[in-house]
Amino acid sequence: MSARRFSLRVDGIPVEAAPGQSILQACDAAGVYIPRLCDHPDLPPAGHCRVCICLVDGRRACACTTPAAAGQVVLNDTPELQDERRAMVELLFIEGNHYCHFCERSGDCELQALGYRLGMSVPRWPYLWPRRELDGSHPDVFIDHDRCILCSRCIRASRLEDGKSLFGFEGRGIRMRLKVEAEGHLDATALAAADQAVRVCPVGCIGVKRTAFRVPRGMRRYDQTPIGADIEARREPLKD
């Protein structure tokens, strides 16, 4: 271990970290998967979804926004925390309109994959069936607000990577919505299908037209391995 690196323990596993890393980043590098939805490796953390909630030295904290520190004791994979995460995922399902069977993002969707990984079957609350808009005005990109989980990845990517600042939020609480920063609809913006804002959406809310269902069932991102398996594959076996 270099002089500047330090170590913490996550579910009893020693995790080496570098200064400036969040707990989530340190765990990713060490092959310990912490569930997340709003975090993206190319974007600064936002702390919106709270799916990455852990117990850090006995206190609840988001792993994506909490800096790793020497000697920290983190609990991540406990039945209570996993149930809390499952409840958050269930809330996202009931607050939107998710028809996975008919969604072109099925099998490649982080929300769906997380539901499977956390053992979600039926949400514990009734569906709200909100009325949401589908914006198909742009020649190459659509926004289906039914599927938006308000993670803000597109907002961050549009501002920081595309240099366009095309998106924001409006409203509060259950009425909060993604808004297009333009007079009118998506076709009034400078959005391009190749923009990072389109690429980073974890669900099927922002999508590129004429690309649906190209990957056959069985070959989609989460058909073979659960979400987080790529991170866990980095883990070195514990030495005796």
* 205 is a contact residue toward ligand SF4 (CB under 6 A): yes
What distance in Å separates the CA atoms of residue 107 and residue 222, rounded to the nearest whole number? 5
**Cβ nearer to ligand FES, comparing 50 with 177:** 50
Phi/psi of residue 208, nearest 5 degrees: -95, 130
Across the chain, the runs of DSSP E, i.e. the strands, are 6-10, 13-17, 53-56, 59-62, 73-75, 134-135, 141-144, 167-170, 177-180, 206-208
Give the x-and-dash track for 50-69 against ligand FES (CB under 6 A): xxx---------x-x-----
* 66 is a contact residue toward ligand SF4 (CB under 6 A): no
Piece of 21-29, 57-65, 94-102, 216-224 that binds ligand SF4 (CB under 6 A): 94-102
**Cβ nearer to ligand FES, comparing 65 with 137:** 65
* 168 is a contact residue toward ligand FES (CB under 6 A): no
What distance in Å separates the CA atoms of residue 41 and residue 63, rounded to the nearest whole number? 13
Instruction: Please enumerate in sequence order all residues whose Cβ is within 8 A of that of 141, keeping only pairs 6 or more positions apart, or say none.
Output: 186, 191, 192, 193, 198, 206, 207, 208, 209
Binding site for ligand SF4 (CB under 6 A): 98-100, 103, 105-106, 109, 111-112, 147-154, 178, 201, 203-206
Where do contacts with ligand FES occur on this chain (CB under 6 A)? 36-39, 47-52, 62, 64
